[in-house]
Structure 1
Amino acid sequence: MTLTMLNLHQLVVKQIILHHPTQKLFQPIPASDRRRSSKERLTDEKVLPFSAFLTDSFGRRHNYLRISLTEKCNLRCQYCMPEEGVKLTPRGQLLSTSEVLTLAQLFVREGVDKIRLTGGEPLIRPDVLDIITELKKLVGLKTVAVTTNGINLSRLLPKLKDAGLDLINISLDSLVPAKFEFVVRRKGFHKVMESIDKAVELGYNPVKINCVVMRGLNEDELLDFVQLTEKKPLEVRFIEYMPFDGNKWNFKKMVSYQEMLDQIRQQWPNLERLQSGPADTAKTFKVPGFKGQLGFITSMSDNFCGSCNRLRITADGNLKVCLFGNSEVSLRDILRSGASDEELLRIIGAAVGRKKKQHAGMFTISQMKNRPMVLIGG
């Protein structure tokens, strides 16, 4: 952190202390306070406006936490992992269920109101339903979401809904079965399509479809994906191809947001831009008269770092404050050392405080050492 950044972060902390002199910044919240109702917490003047630990030196408030439940996956998507797979972390070094929930509770207590479960493939974790059920009990947590490849989703959906799952993102990179199998190196196209229909049937609206666009592979299907939104409440999200270890990224494979948008507008010139929230990653659009909408995740050509509100915990318990950053802090080791909530929060706050203003840019990050996407959790 530069001196200027450090001063800004200290200023944020100082202002919080000035406005809340009766509450020590690093004082652990007693167990009795953790059980208070949300109404009591909202009306208590001693509760901080937003946690200093989750506020970085640029004033960004991180209220969105992505937790990877497993490194394992039943697909081998080309953009996510090497064809030969990855070396998995020994089971004992992965976060246990109780550790996942302990960390989730701590982050929610500090202001996180949305948690997304990722992987690998989160739905292959045997206790995923139990985790969702327990997360939904956390006071202050508004949204529990899952990103899945959809292979096991249809079978589990009724139980996931009963457990309280709020949002679903399903990965689908081609509408051509043979091409789908080429991209993911496995079969399963019809299972994914069945899962999308089942999610719509059970009332999820919108059902988000994540499509990584790669030149020479699926950029010719953009219009077909947009057509999916005509009669179903889907949000198809076109994701720029991003570099991660083992996926052989190169600039020529990346199809930019602007190029995709131009192609779609040739077919639908009256495409409407929709208003986005301040921390939304997707630039969203709608074809007038269509039931669903589409979005673009422009991480490479037009980053949205300035409004980033996301933190990530990997399956082995490392905190990543930036998807493209290679610095990590092991919350697992700190947790297993018997550290108090106060100590954990100090470590988390220090990591968040070191978060950079933005990632290094597409050409630099393609040369940086980072995990394969499957070991990050997206």
Structure 2
Amino acid sequence: MLRRVLSSRVRSCSSGAPVTQPRPGEPSQPAVEEPSRRRQFLREHAAPFSAFLTDSFGRRHSYLRISLTEKCNLRCQYCMPEEGVPLTPKADLLTTEEILTLARLFVKEGVDKIRLTGGEPLIRPDVVNIVAQLRQLEGLRTIGITTNGINLARLLPQLQKAGLSAINISLDTLVPAKFEFIVRRKGFHKVMEGIHKAIELGYSPVKVNCVVMRGLNEDELLDFVALTKGLPLDVRFIEYMPFDGNKWNFKKMVSYKEMLDTLRQRWPELEKLPEEESSTAKAFKIPGFQGQVSFITSMSEHFCGTCNRLRITADGNLKVCLFGNSEVSLRDHLRAGASEEELLSIIGAAVGRKKRQHAGMFNISQMKNRPMILIGG
């Protein structure tokens, strides 16, 4: 059954994938050459980075994740309890104009990448308009979205036209019945349709986020990697992380090294790729495969030293660390009429308090924090 699902999906997704091959006799050009030159140019000509977004350890926070909603049309086991979570009243959530006001401020200070999260961002009615408005911000180079993929095929043409430049799609299994068990809802084929549509529209790579949980889906690692043979996917295996309501247990976590060992037994030729600046992922590629695989090692090998991320929750709180429980309300200050200078002082103070690294998996599991659904990942 699994082989049939895989083979049929590979055929259907491949049909629309734009692939450019070198002509016979032409040397292939490394895909990273032009982006690398561009990054070097931007570093050499960049304006001084904002002191407000630089913490006491010299980390520059140029990446902002904004949660558009607390609502979601799935109930993933690692993200929220089965019964759901109490939602913030609508009046206490950020309005569209408040989201854009904060985005403008952060971009003005040096943020060049914004990712829209949730909840599920694609259930927000004005998500296309928000992307279009963000696209107008001078200095913003990347607008990404992290989605469960249920509504992606329907909305992606509009989102692409509005200016969406990067997509992460959550998918934790390639078995439809297991999908329903993990997310407690139907929708597997809609997610696969969304992946197909992203490839068809030229997104490359399409990032697929897979939270690996022992006894649930660690037996599918090789099947996920096999998808990268003919598809421009970056399959990202994420270590299971503790958050309120997800019943985290150390025994359920499959470490990066264990996953890597499993892959190397099947593909000993697996190559490690150079790490990008401030990347959270350790990336690998099998020679001859179109896509790649990555590991998000938040628990076993943290990447706090190069963290450049800040988060704004749907109710307007600034979180400087995914695993920290310290927050400051930007919404309240906005609604109280705070000036831009006052907001920057508040943001700068919060960034300045950011710790060198998170507390470690066992301490994090004991700390009070929001469920993942209310943070946005």
Fold match (TM-score > 0.5): yes
1:212-234 alpha-carbon deviations (Å, 9 max, x no partner):
00000000000000001000000
Q: What letter is aligned with 1:242? A: M
SS at match of 1:53: helix
CA distance in 2 between counterparts of 1:138 and 1:270 reads 43
1:242-300 alpha-carbon deviations (Å, 9 max, x no partner):
00000000100000000000001000000000011120000000011000000000000
1:1-378 to 2 correspondences below 5 Å: 49-378=48-377
Give the unaligned 5+ runs of structure 1. 1-41
Q: What letter is aligned with 1:127? A: D
CA distance in 1 between counterparts of 2:101 and 2:163 reads 19
Deviation at 1:165, TM superposition (A): 0.2
Give the unaligned 5+ runs of structure 2. 1-41
Match of 1:31 in 2: none
CA distance in 2 between counterparts of 1:99 and 1:319 reads 13
CA distance in 2 between counterparts of 1:75 and 1:377 reads 14
CA RMSD of aligned residues (A): 1.0
CA distance in 2 between counterparts of 1:277 and 1:131 reads 28
CA distance in 1 between counterparts of 2:148 and 2:376 reads 12
SS at match of 2:237: strand
Q: What letter is aligned with 2:221? A: L
Deviation at 1:195, TM superposition (A): 0.5
CA distance in 2 between counterparts of 1:277 and 1:269 reads 23
Structure 1 residue ranges (4+ consecutive) displaced by more than 6 angstroms after TM superposition: none
Q: What letter is aligned with 1:206? A: P
Q: What letter is aligned with 1:320? A: K
SS at match of 2:98: helix
CA distance in 2 between counterparts of 1:164 and 1:344 reads 28
CA distance in 1 between counterparts of 2:48 and 2:134 reads 22
1:1-39 alpha-carbon deviations (Å, 9 max, x no partner):
xxxxxxxxxxxxxxxxxxxxxxxxxxxxxxxxxxxxxxx
SS at match of 1:284: strand
CA distance in 2 between counterparts of 1:286 and 1:181 reads 30
1:161-200 alpha-carbon deviations (Å, 9 max, x no partner):
1001000000000000000110000000000001001100
Identity %: 79
Deviation at 1:48, TM superposition (A): 5.3
Relative to the length of structure 1, the TM-score reads 0.88
